[in-house]
Chains A and B, each alone.
Chain A
Amino acid sequence: MLKLRTLAIAALMAMTLGPLAAPNAHAADKYITVASTTSTANSGLFDFLLPKFTEKTGIEVRVVAVGTGKAIKLAMNGDADVLFVHHKPSELKFVKEGFGVKRSDVMYNDFVMVGPKADPAGVKGAKMAGDGLKKIAVAKAPFASRGDNSGTNKKELELWKGAGIDPTGAENKWYSATGSGMGATLNVASGMNAYSLTDRATWLKFKNKGDLEIVLEGDPVLFNQYGIILVNPEKHKHVKKDLGQAFIDWTIGKEGQGLINEYKILGNQAFFANAQPGS
């Protein structure tokens, strides 16, 4: 039995101590960290785009996909080299406060309002997003909000404000702020047959649609612009300035822009490249 015992101890030690000693397999590679949004990651765009960039440059891109609010916070703390999000006012503020070097447009898509097929609030008749929201508020139809300070959440709150409604009060039982990501919020909306605002790419890719469908789209106010910013190396010395800039240049350059336009979800173009040449 001694053999068994030795074997067991040796196996246990190898299992536990081995991993501690083994360095991170990726540690020596060239890589950058990009703080981005759930929409760019969950839509599958990064899975399509990033391998092509890595293949060409040898630079691995590590994406931390969180809401825009949190992504900006990560970048402010210097925990990312590049910020790739979708709320222009916040992005401009980020640069103005010295956290970012320069902001460039990358691409756009649009937000859509989704809701139950039966459309109890009658949103489908509305052309303008604000009118749609007013109908939801009047009907007190359930609405699921991100409530997480993300780009989509900020957009939604701007739309409510534009419609002259503040839905966030506790007395509005029909309005649920989930405080979570786009997918989790759509799961809630799907579960309670609620209306919600989502970016089109996440919606196209989302699999648990249940009884929901797009009830309002096409209002110019639903335009969703994505921007990319290098985190300021003067604020955070360790920022990988050259590698990060290489990624930005590629993304807003001919190759990246072409690939963004090529990416399709179920036959639909998900993002529309619109970087300014020479920016």
Chain B
Amino acid sequence: MSIALHLALIALLLALAFWTVVARETFAAVAGFVSYGLLLTLAWVALSAVDVALTEAAIGAGLTGALLIGATSRLRKTEAAARAERPGRATRVLAAIVATAVAAAIAACVLLLPDPGPSLAPEVAQNLASTGVGNPITAVLMSFRAMDTMLEAIVLLFGLIGIWSLASDRYWGGRPGLAPVVEPNGILAYLARVLPPIGLVVGIYILWVGADYPGGKFQGGTVLAAMWLLLLMSGLHDAPAVSQRWVRLALVAGPAVFILVGVLGVFVAGAFLGYPEGLAKPLIIVIEVALLPSLAVTLTLLLMGPPQRSESSP
């Protein structure tokens, strides 16, 4: 991309971001944010971060967008009351000064960073072969800094435990979300019949190529989550009760396999999360395959919120 295109992209991003902050209606702001998120993926591509672009499109724009749109429609009644709370001029001026100062300081830092920047790319390249995978980002995520990735899966699970813990006591063990209403001939139901098989294939494909090309379990897991969400929203499938044993097993299976493979490394490779010579790639794939369904279930349920009707609810 040429500098002119970059400038245009930046101008659009800033305009949408500005809109997101100043829009009067929350719904308009959220709509601006979702478009902003989609445009942002172009910025990642422009910065040669294709894996990040995929993640941003799937999670940053897609799932977060869905989450915020859902919340906006539920909270619409509170808009007017909130507007009455709007802070006075003094607060706004002060906030503007603080925000400008922070932005200016960051801008100065960006200009002052050493050129060329320090990089671990040569070291990653040097050790890439021993991990057996071709995508350097997958090597970082699954080998050099595998601990972070393991913890990240656990973070998601903690988030879900936190969300579930907000349930009202009488619905504990029940199903999240509203009771499904099926419109068998609606467009949603149609899509929900057609898309999921395709999405399943795409999700698994994204996981599979992630070893050597951009992609991986988070992006693939999000696609699977989106397909399941489609089924849930169309009413063709009901959300499972949180007390179901299979749900809980599905949630912990991925992190548990990750930990077990890590512990295996202590015995066969001399270090926790280490892989023995020649077996790195198969073990990495074992972890990713185990994580994929767990991530899909976790991401979907994060979006569905706490249980809010009894298990026997239709």
Question: Do the two chains belong together in a single complex?
Answer: no
Interface residues in chain B, defined as those with a beta carbon under 8 Å from any beta carbon in chain A: none
